[in-house]
Chains A and B, each alone.
Chain A
Amino acid sequence: MLRIENLKKYFGGIKAVNGCSFEVEKGKITALIGPNGSGKTTIFNLICGVHKPDEGKIIFSTNTGKRNIAGMQIEKISNFGISRFFQQTRLFKNLTVLENLLLAEDNEDQKFWKNVLGFNKFDKAKIEKANEKLADFDLKNILNIRAEDLSFGQKRLVELARNILNYHTILILDEPVAGVNHKIRNIIAETILQMKKEGETILLIEHDMSFTFSISDKVIVMDAGKIVATGTPEEIHNNPEILRIYLGCCQL
């Protein structure tokens, strides 16, 4: 589904990503873990088009075949099916929850004349779809609240809903449960597992180890821009090397 080949990215003298290769299999949950500064978010940025790699390929299986998406524009990559959940909340703060979700549903809203002449609307069907998604998250009656005014946990759930509503063949989640309370953490965990049951592919970064190990199929460990280990959660959990790298870093 998504294969990284020898990816490298330098920022001045800093080798943020220094030759990484891994594969994200279809229908599985892959986790990318490692200490802060190991390059995880940079890899996400490279995959999603925020940065252009200095070397390496990012091969993605789109509906028109495999393509090297390295260096492509963010919006183009998104339309190929990559949907990203950011580490910082990036809701459109002055728009309502409903508007945030509706914008994700399709790209008809970009057609100027079609919209101005009234041939494209936020109709009942679309609103229903948004509502359903929110109901999955146990969030009702927040459709017309400004995104800015939600609580942190609610924001994250809305953002996740937005990511799911957006056309995607793979979900890329950057620290989905960072900073949320137990209840929301569980909702997110359940949602991700449910998505896996439905055949979705997920790549995530997370520091919460119990969360990560409980849902992932494959765990990739990074340190200082390189991949140091790959395996199942059990293999990684029992690997003394990894524990050493991580000591004092993350919750186990």
Chain B
Amino acid sequence: MVSTYFIHLLILIGIYGILAVSLQLAVGFGGFLNLGHIAYYGIGAYTFTLLSKHEINFWLCLLLAGIFSAFFGWLLAAAVRKLKGDYLALVTLGFSFVVYAVFQNWTWLTNGPLGISGITRPNFLGFSTNNNNIYFILVFFIFLISYFFIYRVVTSPFGKVVEAVRDDELSAKSLGKRTFKIKLITFSTSAFFAGVAGSLYASYITYIDPSSFTLAGIIPVILIVIIGGLGSFHGTLLATFFIILLPEPLRFMGFSSSIVGPARQIIYAIILLATLYYKPKGFYGKLDLE
């Protein structure tokens, strides 16, 4: 029983790890505070779910869900080309509200508040992943690929251009860099992996509904990115462990489940506020949120 619980936590860490690292790419490296990142998570989840209901191969569903999310990442990046600061943050938020409203209301496609259940799990290496232990191995595998891919992006020369665009876009342009194209690529990649994370989430819980993709959903993710440190890759992974594991003791304190949920949010909100005040650079970060 204990190991089942730990496997569950590890799976969550794997999924949130991909989600957080994808946001880190956009925020820490790209300098784009995308408060609507959770929308890509949701788009990925719903796309994956709807595709998998048509008996399409798991990996294909995963890839297509990622690509579809990436497309929205591309759209949002293009849309906010001329915006800065407050307005930029608001548009990203507005985007996630619109996406949520679509999930909630386009019942023909998404089944609205009732959600979609019965999402099947694939076979991996010949074994059925209905066993969570096997599912964990699948998640871990995909996590490694995602983490490694984004790692390659940020440590390569391309990653340096991305950071240069973040630090001084005009200067980057003056060196001949096509900064708009760089941003489009960066933010679609960020969205792609958020979509992958969403697919894994849908596949794990085997049920999705719009309530997982509300405004509150962005808090733990942005918290991980800030605590880990903006611009720090490995810090993000460490912070994922910390943030996922931290509220877990609540389960064992005898509270009812209707308290545990909000209590977890309260802990996240308080840590967020504390981090913004005491350690806005996070633990391994090199820059400030601005």
A122 is an interface residue with CB less than 8 A from chain B: yes
A65-91 interface code vs B (CB 8 A; 1 in, 0 out): 000000001110011000110100011
Q: Known contacts A50-B170, A95-B167: does B176 contact A75 (CB below 8 Å)? A: yes
Q: Is B157 in contact with A102, judged by CB distance below 8 angstroms? A: yes
Whether A118 contacts B168 by the Cβ 8 Å rule is: no
Q: Does A107 contact B (CB under 8 A)?
A: yes
Alpha-carbon gap, A250 to B287, bound state (A): 39
Contact call A104/B175, Cβ cutoff below 8 A = yes
Indicate whether A116 reaches chain B with its CB closer than 8 angstroms.
yes
Instruction: Indicate if B182 sits at the interface (CB-CB under 8 A).
Output: yes
Contacts of A83 in B (CB 8 A): 174
Q: A116 touching B177 by the CB < 8 A rule?
A: no
B185 on interface, CB distance cutoff 8 Å? yes
Main secondary structure of the interface of B (DSSP, over half): helix
Which has the most chain B C-beta neighbours within 10 Å: A49, A50, A74?
A74
Residues of B within 8 A of A116 (CB): 149, 152-153, 156, 158
Chain B residues lying within 8 Å of A91, measured Cβ to Cβ, are 168, 171
Partner of B163, one of A73, A74, A94: A94
Q: Do the beta carbons of A94 and B286 come within 8 Å of each other? A: yes
- A85, closest chain B residue (CB): B174
Q: Are B167 and A110 in contact (CB under 8 A)?
A: no
Q: Is the CB of A95 within 8 A of B164?
A: yes
Taking a contact as CB atoms under 8 Å apart, the answer to whether A122 and B173 are in contact is no
Bound complex: CA of A48 vs CA of B175, how far in Å?
11
Given contacts A78-B175, A110-B158, A116-B156, contact A92 B181 (CB under 8 A): no
Contact with A111, one of B149, B158, B175 (Cβ below 8 angstroms):
B158
Partner of B171, one of A86, A112, A122: A86
Find out whether the CB atom of A122 lies under 8 angstroms from the CB atom of B157.
yes
Asked if B158 contacts A90 (CB within 8 A), the reply is no
Considering the complex, give the chain A residue whose CB is closest to the CB of B150: A116
User: Does B161 lie at the interface of the complex (its beta carbon under 8 Å from any beta carbon of A)?
Assistant: yes
- Assess the B160–A99 pair: CB atoms within 8 A: yes
A108 within 8 A of B: yes
Contact among A78, A86, A90, A94 with B231 in the assembled complex (CB-CB below 8 Å): A94
**CB of B213 to closest CB in A, whole Å:** 28
Could you say which of A49, A74, A92, A104 contacts B167, with CB atoms under 8 Å apart?
A92
B179 within 8 A of A: yes
How far, in angstroms, from A167 to B174 measured CA to CA in the complex? 11
Taking the complex as formed, is A109 at the interface, i.e. its CB lies under 8 A from any CB of chain B? yes
Interface residues of A, Cβ cutoff 8 Å to B: 48-50, 73-75, 78-79, 83-84, 86, 90-95, 99-100, 102-104, 107-112, 115-116, 118, 120-122, 146, 162, 166-167
The 4 closest A-B pairs by CB, nearest first: A109-B157, A115-B158, A90-B171, A115-B156
List B residues at the A interface (Cβ < 8 Å). 149, 152-153, 156-161, 163-164, 166-168, 170-179, 181-182, 185, 231, 286-287
Q: List 17 A-B contacts (CB under 8 A).
A: A75-B176, A84-B174, A86-B174, A94-B167, A94-B231, A94-B286, A95-B160, A99-B160, A102-B157, A102-B160, A107-B177, A110-B181, A111-B158, A116-B152, A116-B156, A120-B157, A146-B286
Q: A90-B170, A112-B158 are in contact. List 14 more A-B contacts (CB 8 A).
A: A73-B173, A74-B170, A75-B174, A79-B176, A86-B171, A92-B163, A92-B168, A93-B167, A99-B163, A107-B176, A109-B177, A115-B152, A115-B159, A167-B176
